Structure 1
Amino acid sequence: MGRRSTGFRRSLGLAAAAAALTLAACSPQPAAQATPASESAASVHPVSGLAVIPLTVTSGSAVHRFRVEVAASNAEQSKGMMFRTEMGPDEGMIFPSDVPSARSFWMKNTPLPLDIIFIGTDGRILNVEYGEPYKLEPVSSAGITANVLELNAGRAAALGIGPGDLVEW
Structure 2
Amino acid sequence: MRVIVRAVMLGVGLLVSAALAAQVQLPVAELSVGMHRIEAEVAHTDQTRRIGLMNRQSMPEQRGMVFVFTHDARHCMWMRNTLIPLSVAFLDEEGRILNIEDMEPLTEDSHCAAGPARFALEMNKGWFERRGIGDGIRIRGIESLPQGR
Q: Where on the TM-score scale, by shorter chain, does this alignment land: which range?
A: 0.7 to 0.9
Among candidates 73, 95, 101, match of residue 45 of structure 2: 73
* Match runs of 1:29-40 below 5 Å: none
Length-normalised TM-score, structure 2: 0.77
CA distance in 2, matches of 1:63, 1:48: 30
Q: Which structure has the larger Rg?
A: 1
Among candidates 119, 130, 138, match of residue 147 of structure 1: 119
Verify: 1:118 aligned to 2:90, yes or no.
Answer: yes
| Paired position in structure 2 for 1:162 | 134
CA distance in 2, matches of 1:64, 1:72: 23
Letter in 1 for 2:25: G
| Paired position in structure 2 for 1:51 | 27
- Runs of 4+ in structure 1 deviating by more than 6 angstroms, as ranges, are none
What is the RMSD of the two structures over their aligned residues, measured on CA atoms?
Answer: 1.4
The Cα offsets for residues 89-125 of structure 1, whole Å up to 9 and x where unpaired, read as: 1000000111111100000000100011100123200
Letter in 2 for 1:128: I
Length-normalised TM-score, structure 1: 0.68
Could you tell me which runs of 5 or more consecutive residues in structure 1 were left unpaired when the two chains were aligned. 1-45
Identity rate of aligned residues, in percent?
34
Shift of 1:48: 4.5
Could you tell me which runs of 5 or more consecutive residues in structure 2 were left unpaired when the two chains were aligned. 1-21, 142-149
CA distance in 2, matches of 1:159, 1:153: 12
Aligned residues: 120
CA distance in 1, matches of 2:82, 2:102: 13
CA distance in 1, matches of 2:138, 2:120: 13
